[in-house]
Structure 1
Amino acid sequence: MTETIENPTKNRRRVPKAGRGAAAAPVSGPQPARSRRNDRVLVIGGAPRVDLLPPEVHANRRQRATGRRAWAGVVVVAVGVGLVAGWATTERMSAEQDLVAAQSETTTLLQQQGQYRDVRTTEAESALLGAAQQVGGSTEVDWSATLQAVRAKLPAGVQITGVTVDSASATEAYAQSDDPLQGQRIATLTFDAKSAALPSIPDWLAAVGTVPGFVDANANSVALADDGSGYAVNMTIHLDEKAFDGKYADDAKKG
């Protein structure tokens, strides 16, 4: 390759040397232009400055470069999709294995439970029976203990000759009195007693007021006994929910 550069001595004016012993003649006026051929230097090995390739070659090169970049993007996307698909497949296989293990464990547990089916049935029936007893016995009154408490509060020498009881049931509410002065009750105890002496009814009423579940009491009648051995008294005592024995409820709490 060759390159022509400008001569650094361009436009320099040369002054002719004077002859020996002669003075240099002054230079005046414009100097004739030298040939540009003498003002350039030929350089060998420089970079080419002229592109002789047709435009179609450059366009083809650009298209191929663009195609290579596009295919590189496609390869990157394909690799990413493959990685994601592989991860999803691994997760799916792991989930399927966990599901199979859980199903196997469930089957084993069901088989073990089947061995104790009779025990579970018995337990369910026992629980149902206990609940039924608790509901049915929720309105029970320990009448033996209640009569013993009433007898202990009566004066000495008084003998109970007859007893009538009436209480609520598990399915029906107890009938209440129409008298607004009487309290709510769940049971009624009516008894006949014989006293050798004329009884003091106010003292009797005050004495039975400490019976568990006591609401109120009244003397229905006081009369001379038919055989003349003393006096016959008929008395009624009303009881509230405190008179319930709560036996089955206590058993349920203990169980």
Structure 2
Amino acid sequence: MSEKKPTARREVKVAIAYPPSVNLLPPEVGMRKSAARSRGRAIFVALVAVGIAILAAAGANVYSLQRGVALENARSLTLSLTTQQGEYNEVRSANQLLSTTQAARLFAYSTEVSLKFLIDQMNSKLSSGMTISGYNFDTANPLQGFAPASSPLDQQSMAAFSLEIGANSVGDIDDWVRKLSSVDGVVQSTLLSTAVEEGGTFSGSVVVLIGDKALLHRFDEVIDGEEAAPEEAEPTPTESPEPDSETSEEESGS
């Protein structure tokens, strides 16, 4: 009878991640540790929040300072521009006042005539024995025009002389009235009436109409010159010729 051999036993190894441990401490210790960890996390979060708040406040202060500097620069620039604008306004006001003054001067003198020139010219036409005993001058002004012609035969005028003439004969007066048409500015001359004076002399009433050609236009050239001045080119300087020896000797001899 054969004997049975005993079978060998196989050991099964089970892998364990952590060695078995037994917590022998009381539960209160674990609770205190958990509370301490929670407090640590809370303190860390609070510190992070405080740091973020400090950084945000610092950034806000820096931004506020930058905006303050920018605002101050803008105020300085605005003040400078306002000052310059004030200077330009003063110059503009002065130019406008000058233009207004020039326009007012032109307007005021737009009907100005030279009485001396006209009287001298009319006196030059007098023959011997004739005199102008008196005259009255009526003219238009910038605010009121001269009286319109009362007759279709009268020329358009802007001033009129009413003269009293003394002469030896009516023919001399009539001849003088005809000569007045050659005086610059006179558009018409008319003998209204004659009368015999004591001593056999004659007197006559004459009306002389003055036209636009007698106007002086004193300030028109000033305005035209000011308008044309910017357009005129600056004159180029011309080199003066150098004196030669002959010219120097002649000047020294003289």
* TM-score range for the pair, normalised by the shorter chain length: 0.5 to 0.7
Are 2:208 and 1:237 aligned? yes
Give, as a single letter, the amino acid of the residue that structure 2 aligns with 1:129: T
1:27-46 C-alpha deviation (Å, 9 max, x unpaired): xxxxxxxxxxxxxxxxxxxx
1:56-98 C-alpha deviation (Å, 9 max, x unpaired): xxxxxxxxxxxxxxxxxxxxxxxxxxxxxxxxxxxxxxxxxxx
How far off its partner does 1:108 sit? Answer: 4.6
Q: 1:219 aligns with which of 170, 182, 191?
A: 191
Give, as a single letter, the amino acid of the residue that structure 2 aligns with 1:169: N
Separation in structure 2 between the aligned mates of residue 206 and residue 156 of structure 1, nearest angstrom: 16
Separation in structure 2 between the aligned mates of residue 145 and residue 195 of structure 1, nearest angstrom: 22
Length-normalised TM-score, structure 2: 0.53
Q: Is the contact between residue 209 and residue 216 of structure 1 (CA under 8 Å) also seen in structure 2?
A: yes
Separation in structure 2 between the aligned mates of residue 182 and residue 144 of structure 1, nearest angstrom: 24
Separation in structure 1 between the aligned mates of residue 118 and residue 81 of structure 2, nearest angstrom: 53
Q: 1:123 aligns with which of 89, 95, 98?
A: 95
Written as runs of structure 1 = structure 2, the 5 A alignment for 1:47-58 is none
Written as runs of structure 1 = structure 2, the 5 A alignment for 1:65-144 is 108=80, 110-115=82-87, 118-144=90-116
Q: Give identity over the alignment, percent.
A: 25
Written as runs of structure 1 = structure 2, the 5 A alignment for 1:240-251 is 240-251=211-222
Separation in structure 2 between the aligned mates of residue 157 and residue 187 of structure 1, nearest angstrom: 28
Separation in structure 1 between the aligned mates of residue 78 and residue 118 of structure 2, nearest angstrom: 56
Are 2:118 and 1:152 aligned? no
Query: Structure 1 residues 107, 156: closer, same or farther in 2, change over 3 A?
Result: farther
- Please state whether the residue corresponding to 2:179 is helix, strand or coil: helix
Give, as a single letter, the amino acid of the residue that structure 1 aligns with 2:217: G
Length-normalised TM-score, structure 1: 0.52
Which residue pairs with 2:158 in the alignment? 186
1:196-221 C-alpha deviation (Å, 9 max, x unpaired): 34443442122111112221111112
- Please state whether the residue corresponding to 2:195 is helix, strand or coil: strand
Separation in structure 2 between the aligned mates of residue 221 and residue 236 of structure 1, nearest angstrom: 10
Give, as a single letter, the amino acid of the residue that structure 2 aligns with 1:230: T
Query: Structure 1 residues 110, 229: closer, same or farther in 2, change over 3 A?
Result: farther
Number of equivalences: 154
Query: Structure 1 residues 234, 119: closer, same or farther in 2, change over 3 A?
Result: same
Give, as a single letter, the amino acid of the residue that structure 2 aligns with 1:236: V
Separation in structure 1 between the aligned mates of residue 154 and residue 204 of structure 2, nearest angstrom: 21
How far off its partner does 1:254 sit? Answer: 2.9
User: Which has the higher Rg, Structure 1 or Structure 2?
Assistant: 1
How far off its partner does 1:235 sit? Answer: 0.8
Query: Structure 1 residues 218, 212: closer, same or farther in 2, change over 3 A?
Result: same
Separation in structure 2 between the aligned mates of residue 186 and residue 106 of structure 1, nearest angstrom: 56
Q: Is the contact between residue 139 and residue 244 of structure 1 (CA under 8 Å) also seen in structure 2?
A: yes
Query: Structure 1 residues 118, 204: closer, same or farther in 2, change over 3 A?
Result: same
Q: Is the contact between residue 138 and residue 248 of structure 1 (CA under 8 Å) also seen in structure 2?
A: no
CA RMSD of superposed structures (Å): 2.9
How far off its partner does 1:236 sit? Answer: 0.7
What stretches of structure 1 of length at least 5 have no aligned partner?
A: 1-103
Separation in structure 2 between the aligned mates of residue 205 and residue 240 of structure 1, nearest angstrom: 16
What stretches of structure 2 of length at least 5 have no aligned partner?
A: 1-75, 227-254
Query: Structure 1 residues 195, 202: closer, same or farther in 2, change over 3 A?
Result: closer
